Structure 1
């Protein structure tokens, strides 16, 4: 069965390679209101690599680029050659339209292009037996039309108050952390909002001990910026609040505090090494520069001596001492 597509594919693509035939075909099948928007002079077939890799050879397709109201757009033409028609054709087309839009963005464009899909059908059943609407690809078309492919639901934490977020049950812990992590003030100013004893105890004892530790780690390392906390007494105060809220988690909290302290010591050691290296480099550069200047003075003194200059003149122009000049003379 797949072999049947080869002569169809050859004729289909061979036909659309001819500009005049393509224009006639588009004029015959595109609605006039759409055709008026297309700058026909910009119509150009694009490389084959833009076409999707269908899992079989029962389809042929070509892509044209063009300008629609001055904007780069695409016309995607698919020919279905199989005798058993594809009930999911609307979904196939949707997938490739999205793929082509993604390709467009990867080329550096900032906005999505218009993609006009056309399907040429010459199957065994007449007329075409399936819906062209994507909704009919769902188990419940009416429900899908009502719920699917709509503008996404937005949860904007930046405009929510802490009080509102705290009504979201256990999910509020994550939301509070995400909302406040960019703030420069001490996390102690909002930590008490997060650490509801009932909420954190529930997370530790009923949800997951590991998740509790993930929350603690995120608070210290991201929200508290561990290196900043470690240099103030805010860390001790923060950990004390955690201990007061969830005394059952004392072992995990103290273990984490010890790990954080060790990391702080290592950072201090590393910082000391870096400072030492920087000081050494600066001293070395200074010594090198001094040595270079001294060598330059000796070179100038040698040239002055060769020209018969007096010792006093050499001292004046080079700044060398009597002892240095004596060395040159001997």
Structure 2
């Protein structure tokens, strides 16, 4: 659909010069009706100052209320009434065919799509994120080789680094959940698409380079630790939570131990406190999320992957014993759900 109108949203926290280069690359691909909006969350307003006299993109400043809030604000600032929304990180660098590939997607069939995200050396950053039975999510096929074939591969977890979503689906979902502040917004959005019966896919031979760094500072760990259980509580069917509760209780105890070993105990404790404080609002969100769900618990568990094959992890998490434990528990849970769903 070559006349598809695309609204592009870039959320930044500084990175002004990087965004200028990104916008220049995107402008080579845009049509006259496409629009680029930048939301700068940085109090220094360096990105805003770069673009305030420019006519290639509209830049707005915002109080830093998080990634999801900025994405929602960016969509509201679009004036071009887009058919599709594209979200892309400031440290991403698209190839010349990104927008044309998005225009060719059948958004009657797919709610959202993402390109293959690659590292500067050409290896895969993510070809669709993995959604594990523990509720953890990580980059799929990390450090692997891209699939250089013009096929669309189904995924259940988009990467927030770059993805496109139908404007109709965005409205249906109510945008991103800004309650997360940072991390898990993309996982939450993808899961809610699946809960409503929507399909998502990876454009295998469409590439966006991402300056990705796995290492995480204390601030990032704080929100990953906070949001991990809240995401599960909000979006997962109760029967799935119950059936996977034993493995995940063991996992949560293990994560406390790891936080001690890695010197993150205080961060873990603070994350737990703010997670508990946020719990009432996520329980309220859960009621509406589960009420609108159209897939069964048996269908939902098929979205999850019990295996751990993450090259960025090491030790006990990637061990054969751990994988066997998760796989056996997953298969048993599937059998039980299939029995009671029939």
Question: Larger % of strand: which?
Answer: 2
Q: Please, what TM-score do these two structures have when normalized by structure 2?
A: 0.21
Larger-gyration structure (1/2): 1
Q: Hey, which of these two has a bigger chunk of helix by percent?
A: 1
| Structure with more relative contact order (C-alpha pairs < 8 Å, separation 6 or more) | 2
Q: TM-score, normalised on structure 1?
A: 0.21
